[in-house]
């Protein structure tokens, strides 16, 4: 059996740097994320129980910085962020400056980060690891940056069920940049590095969300936007998570207290 403590090969990315530079072509609004979007509320529900005032929190793939700014402003955490898109980090820095929120934001390759190992209470990402053909290395990076006893939280879109079937019809090219093999709770749990991991749990999360579906690819633009906002409203009114309608899969990994730093 291979030694899990040995460095893993850097995973092949299913996207390019140019893809993300294009994704962040337009600047965001210089405000905290709107609670009127179900995607915002879904991530807030995931992070709120894990983050306490004064904690050091790192987001990997943080551009354009909206959720990270909320973590700092509303959860009173000391925050840091990493992204390899120069444009994305520029927007994040401008956002934090506009909101007068201190943050350590670095434009770096996640596999060559200058952030010190074992230096954060919580490390999280959303919509990141599914863009790697072999995500074991990047999951290990999440956990290695967490202090012993701290938590890595990794959220990915769940294209393993109804969202995947719809997206395959709407936009198969977009679906192709996602690693569908990891989109189950069992598959996510298998990614946890055993030599570093203590408790590991995976679960579906979130209210109904239209924002990971490319409705505009099949519907006329005005109709696509109207459908998206209508479904967003349904998600906001939904009183509880409903398994098949949950848009996210989440794995939480607690770093072993006796693991080497």
Q: Which domains does the chain have, with CATH numbers?
A: 17-158+176-208+243-255 (3.40.50.150)
pTM, to two decimals: 0.91
Query: Which phi-psi region, left, alpha or beta, contains residue 103 (left: φ > 0; alpha: ψ -120 to 50)?
Result: beta
Alpha-carbon gap, residue 76 to 87, rounded angstroms: 26
CA-closest candidate to residue 198, choices 147, 128, 141? 147
Full pLDDT tens readout for the chain, 261 residues = 333 433 444 456 655 556 555 665 677 889 999 999 999 999 999 999 999 999 999 999 999 999 999 999 999 999 999 999 999 999 999 999 999 999 999 999 999 999 999 999 999 999 999 999 999 999 999 999 999 999 999 999 999 999 999 999 999 999 999 999 999 999 999 999 999 999 999 999 999 999 999 999 999 999 999 999 999 999 999 999 999 999 999 999 999 998 775
The tokens describing 239, both together, are 């009183």
Residue 25: its pLDDT value, please? 61
pLDDT at 161: 92
Q: Are 38 and 233 in contact (CB under 8 A)?
A: no
The beta strand positions in the chain, using DSSP E, are 56-60, 78-83, 104-107, 120-126, 146-157, 197-205, 248-255
């Amino acid at each position: 059996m291979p030694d899990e403590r040995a460095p893993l090969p850097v995973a092949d990315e299913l996207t390019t740097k140019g893809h993300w530079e294009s994704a962040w072509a337009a600047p965001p609004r210089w405000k905290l994320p709107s609670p009127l979007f179900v995607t915002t509320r879904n991530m807030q529900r995931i992070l709120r129980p894990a983050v306490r005032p004064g904690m050091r929190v790192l987001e990997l793939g943080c551009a354009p910085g909206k959720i990270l700014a909320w973590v700092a402003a509303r959860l009173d955490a000391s925050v840091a962020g990493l992204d390899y898109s120069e444009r994305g980090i520029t927007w994040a820095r401008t956002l934090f400056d506009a909101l007068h929120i201190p943050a350590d934001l670095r434009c770096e390759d996640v596999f060559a980060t200058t952030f010190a190992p074992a230096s954060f209470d919580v490390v999280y990402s959303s919509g990141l690891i599914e863009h790697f053909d072999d995500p074991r290395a990047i999951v290990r990076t999440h956990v290695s940056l967490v202090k012993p006893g701290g938590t890595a939280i990794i959220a990915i879109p769940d294209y393993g069920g109804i969202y995947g079937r719809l997206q395959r019809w709407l936009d198969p090219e977009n679906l192709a940049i996602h690693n569908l093999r990891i989109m189950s709770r069992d598959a996510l749990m298998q990614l946890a590095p055993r030599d570093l991991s203590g408790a590991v749990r995976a679960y579906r999360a979130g209210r109904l969300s239209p924002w990971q579906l490319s409705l505009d690819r099949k519907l006329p633009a005005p109709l696509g936007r109207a459908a998206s906002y209508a479904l967003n409203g349904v998600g906001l009114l939904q009183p509880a998570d409903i398994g098949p309608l949950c848009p996210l899969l989440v794995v939480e990994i607690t770093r072993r207290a006796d693991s080497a730093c």
